[in-house]
Amino acid sequence: MNPAPWIILFAPLLAAAVIAIATQPLKKLSSYLSVAAVAVSFFFSLLVFGSSDQDVSFNWIDLGSFQIRIGYMIDSFSKTMLFIVSGVGLVIHVYSLGYMHDDRGRSRYFAGLSLFMFSMLGIVLANNFIMMFVFWELVGVSSYILIGHWFDRPSAADAANKALIVNRIGDFGFMLGILMVWSASGTVMFDELSSKWTTLGLSAGYTTIAALLIFCGAVGKSAQFPLHVWLPDAMEGPTPVSALIHAATMVAAGVYMLARVFFLFSGSAGALTVVLWIGLITSLLAALMATQQDDIKRILAYSTLSQLGLMVSAIGLGVPVAALFHLFTHAFFKALLFLGAGSVIHSLHNEQNIWQMGGLQKKMPITFWTFLIATLALAGCPPLAGFWSKDGIVAAAFEHNPASALVISVINFFTAFYMTRLFLVAFLGPARSEGANHAHESPPVMTVPLVLLAIPSLIAGLPLVSHLFFSEVESSEPSIPAIAVSLAVFLGGTLAGFALYRGKNSDPLDIPLFENRFYIDQFYAGLVKWTQDSLAGIAAFVDRWIIDGGLVRGLGGTTWGFGFALRFLQIGNLQAYAFLFGFGVVLLLYLILFAS
Amino acid sequence: MLFFGVMVIVNRSPVSSALSLVVCFLGLAALYISLDAFFLGVIQILVYAGAVMVLFLFIIMLLDLKAEQRRKFNLIPMFGGVVVIVLFVKVLLDVCYGFQGGNAVFPALHSDGHGDTWEVGMALFQQYKLPLQMIGALVVVATVGAVLLSKRELK
Amino acid sequence: MATLNDYLLVSGLLFTIGFAGVLLRRNIIIIFMALELMLNAANLSLVGFSRFHVRAGLPDYNAQVLVFFIITVAAAEVAVGLAVIVALFRAKQTTHIEDLNSLKF
């Protein structure tokens, strides 16, 4: 049995455990421990990369007919994901050494980070639903710990709660889906399921519902509409956390899972349509919302939402490989964007409003150039990474569902638009505040990771590189209309951004609908309040009328009533006595003579 | 007789009620005689109509009871009473009409010449000696009790 | 010919009338008289049965003896009862039954 996957998986766990138990006061040691663990994982991921496909598992719980297995599956999907997760993870760990340098809770932070790595790698390596679900929940917990790292801030604590609760809702659907699959097929192992699922002869309705319930898990974890509300609030966590969890890895877990179990969806056109349109709606709404946000991290968060929507819609179009390819490239440039934003925030002393930035080109050159590369990659500028992966999705859309191609093009237009807006306002133009005036470049421990991430953003899309990872990427002749459309929207969006935002000191556009995120948060708050009020009302009613009135006062009242009635037997009124007597006699007569 | 029975309870003046009762008793005596119970019929008139009702009338005069005023109608007790009466009549009717044996004609009598009084006397003094003595004692006790109860306070 | 059932019916009706009187009248003297009616109704039914149940050509005189006793007892009862009423009247100055309600627990 190959020990490498187990080492990959458990090294971070070991680090987390050691930090949590032993080295919490020794902050420097803790942080190095965590970084070392990730480095080890990365090293072994590279080793595994070269090895052949395997699927190994052993019994964890064995009760005769009921078994839960734990194991790993190494195939092209998991090798790629291992590379991304541990690679980007390593870069971010190193960056965190600099970013969190002055933070008092450093040990806790790195323990959380290592726990997260453990959980995420577990999802990647899982070869059955149960194991994946366990690690799925673990990732949610790690995310809660990390988002709420600065827990003394009420907004951070609330954001952590929100993330966990919304995730939980998605996970509930996920669990129901797993149960449906399990009960229908008797197994949860992916390899067995992929061969068995279509031969089971289940009704179309059953497969659709099972697939949609499993999709619920992705809706929660990858922040699709309507469970997208937790992601923007999750920006309350430290920026490296946002980079790792909410750009590159955790949110991608949903897409990864969908790609893994795509065989569940491939038979059900209805489920695929739902997946497609939820992805598109998420993507479009998020892109629109991003055009009006002023917080740099929020803009990036909505951008993440939008790209995730694109990935999910790629699954819905039936091309999971294209989705994973976009995930691959997106991990790099999104992480770079977040780390760059973190660099800016750090040097401007925690200023996050883009209208307070500006004129950073000379003062923070490395950050500037790497951010530019990432922006262009995200917007879809050829020959950077984003262009290739987005083009893959657009091509698939043209082929399978032209209406969706139109929507995707619109989304890409807006993507270019808001990224240009962000770049222009945050980096170019005059310095708009004191902080911006005194900005300086970040220390090397932070800028080196930026450079390291910039390289894949440049080249990861090129066919040479992508073929290393994705042997099934469409290598057929590229579709000319798709490329033309992609180029067109890129240029159009960028130019529009330039036109509107060049040299401006405040936002010329003001669209409250987008700025208030389509009031979805308010809607949810109202919904929760309404539910709670109704339930409280019902409980109050039950308590007041049924328990209090019916039972308590009823019992008392009945006793009192009986007493009142029985009093008449003793009043002293002779005629009353006679009456009762006569009545009794009549009754007796009746009973004796007629009823016996 | 039934009519006078109703008059007993309906009349407002106690004296009228008492007199109606007397007539009722007379009717009752007639019924007894029609049933060949001659001794009892006469006893009824003598004791009941002659002694008991006279006593009643004495008491009414003594207490100087006036005709009853109209009092306000107490609906609920009256209603309860009526209900019981109605139920009673119903049970009565059921019993009577269910009693098959009662539809026969009275069997014929074949007297051996002694007469009704003689027969009653023989039964009374032979079979029912003890009850007779007890009745005697009872009457004495009743007399003593009546005298005691109606005594005025000794000044 | 009158049958036994007829006599029994009359006796029952008389009893009912007496009972109605007990329930519905408020003057205690009248109630007492109604009580007498009830006793007599019982007597009537007894005599009827006596005539009906014929043994060896003679009516069954046991019932008639019983009627004799009932008449006697009723007379004694009237005497004592009226004495009680007189005593009550001297105490409470009223014959209205609702005012005579001290006999209670």
pLDDT over threshold 70, residue B153: no
Nearest to A573 among C19, C31, C101 (CB): C101
Average pLDDT over residues A104-129: 86
DSSP per-residue codes, B93-115: HHHHHH-GGGGSPPPP----SS-
Average pLDDT over residues A158-184: 87
CB contact under 8 A, C103 and A573: no
For residue C70, the model assigns a pLDDT of: 93
CA distances from A581 to A395, A569, B105 (A): 100, 10, 35
CB contact under 8 A, C26 and A575: yes
CB contact under 8 A, B39 and C64: yes
| Cβ neighbourhood burial of A543 (10 Å; 0-12, 13-18, 19+) | exposed
pLDDT over threshold 60, residue A497: yes
CB contact under 8 A, B146 and C83: yes
For residue A418, the model assigns a pLDDT of: 85
Which chains form contacts with chain C, at 3 or more CB pairs under 8 Å?
A, B
Give the residue from B111, B113, B129, B123 showing the smallest Cα distance to C62: B123
The C-alpha angle with vertex A543 and arms to A541 and A546, in degrees rounded to 5, equals: 80
Give me chain C's average pLDDT, please.
Answer: 83
Interface mutation vs chain A, best among B76, B91, B96, most A CBs within 10 Å: B91
For residue C76, the model assigns a pLDDT of: 93
For residue C104, the model assigns a pLDDT of: 57
For residue A361, the model assigns a pLDDT of: 78
For residue A22, the model assigns a pLDDT of: 76
Residue B93: partners with Cβ closer than 8 Å, 6 or more residues away: C9
For residue B106, the model assigns a pLDDT of: 65
Give the residue from A152, A206, C67, A308 showing the smallest Cα distance to A316: A308
Give the residue from C63, C50, C52, C55 showing the smallest Cα distance to B110: C55
pLDDT over threshold 90, residue B140: yes
The C-alpha angle with vertex A308 and arms to A304 and A314, in degrees rounded to 5, equals: 150
B–C: how many Cβ contacts below 8 A? Answer: 226
Residue C105 lies in a domain: no
pLDDT over threshold 90, residue A545: no
Average pLDDT over residues A578-591: 81
Percent pLDDT > 70 in chain A is: 91
Residue C24's pLDDT band (cuts 50, 70, 90): confident
pLDDT in tens, A223-276: 888 788 888 888 888 888 888 877 767 777 888 888 888 888 877 778 888 888
Supply A418's token pair. 């808001």
Chain C residues in contact with B29 (beta carbon < 8 A)? none
Chain B residues in contact with A582 (beta carbon < 8 A)? 84, 88
Exposed e or buried b per residue across A411-422, where buried means at least 16 C-beta atoms within 10 angstroms of its C-beta: bbbbbbbbbbbb
Residue A192's pLDDT band (cuts 50, 70, 90): confident
For residue C44, the model assigns a pLDDT of: 92
Q: Which amino acid is at A253?
A: A
A–B: how many Cβ contacts below 8 A? Answer: 26
CA pair distance A226, A235, nearest whole angstrom: 18
Q: What is the pTM of this model?
A: 0.64
Chain A residues in contact with C105 (beta carbon < 8 A)? 570
Residue A377: partners with Cβ closer than 8 Å, 6 or more residues away: A329, A332, A333, A384, A385, A386, A387, A457, A458
Residue B135's pLDDT band (cuts 50, 70, 90): very high
pLDDT in tens, A283-298: 888 888 888 888 888 8
Domain with C77, as residue range(s), is 4-99
Residue C13 lies in a domain: yes
pLDDT in tens, A408-463: 888 888 888 888 888 888 887 777 777 666 777 777 777 788 888 888 777 777 76
Residue C31 lies in a domain: yes
CB contact under 8 A, A593 and B95: yes
- CA–chain centroid gap for B26, Å, is 11
Supply B123's token pair. 């039964």
Range of A50-59, A159-168, A478-487 with top mean pLDDT? A159-168
Look at A304-308, A343-347, B60-64, C96-100 and tell me which has the smallest mean pLDDT.
C96-100
CA distance B51 to chain A (A): 27
pLDDT over threshold 60, residue A476: no
Percent pLDDT > 90 in chain C is: 22
Residue A361: partners with Cβ closer than 8 Å, 6 or more residues away: A368, A427, A428
Range of A101-105, A284-288, B7-11 with top mean pLDDT? A284-288
What is the gyration radius of the CA atoms in chain A, in angstroms?
31
Residue C26's pLDDT band (cuts 50, 70, 90): confident
The strand pair at C54-55 and C58-59 is best described as: antiparallel
CA pair distance A6, A577, nearest whole angstrom: 94
Nearest to C23 among A571, A572, A582 (CB): A582
For residue B151, the model assigns a pLDDT of: 76
Residue C104 lies in a domain: no
For residue C43, the model assigns a pLDDT of: 93
Instruction: Name the residue in chain C with its Cα closest to that of B124.
Output: C65
For residue C95, the model assigns a pLDDT of: 64
CATH 1.20.120.1200, domain B1-68, yes or no: yes
For residue B71, the model assigns a pLDDT of: 58
For chain B, domain boundaries: 1-68, 116-155
CB contact under 8 A, B77 and A590: no
For residue B73, the model assigns a pLDDT of: 59
CA distance B98 to chain A (A): 10
Average pLDDT over residues A515-520: 70
Domain count, chain C: 1
CA pair distance A338, A234, nearest whole angstrom: 13
pLDDT in tens, A324-360: 888 888 888 888 888 888 888 888 877 777 777 777 7
Supply A151's token pair. 């827990």
Instruction: Write the CATH number for C74.
Output: 1.10.287.3510
CB contact under 8 A, C40 and B43: no
CA pair distance A547, A553, nearest whole angstrom: 8
For residue A315, the model assigns a pLDDT of: 85
Exposed e or buried b per residue across A88-124, where buried means at least 16 C-beta atoms within 10 angstroms of its C-beta: bbbbbbbbbbbbbeeeebbbbbbbbbbbbbbbbbbbb
CA distance A559 to chain B (A): 24
Higher-scoring residue by pLDDT: A89, A443:
A89
pLDDT over threshold 60, residue A10: yes
Percent pLDDT > 90 in chain B is: 20
For residue B136, the model assigns a pLDDT of: 92
Question: What are the φ and ψ backbone dihedral angles of A36, each rounded to 5 degrees?
Answer: -60, -45
Give me chain A's average pLDDT, please.
Answer: 80
Please indicate if any CB of chain C lies within 8 Å of the CB of A59.
no
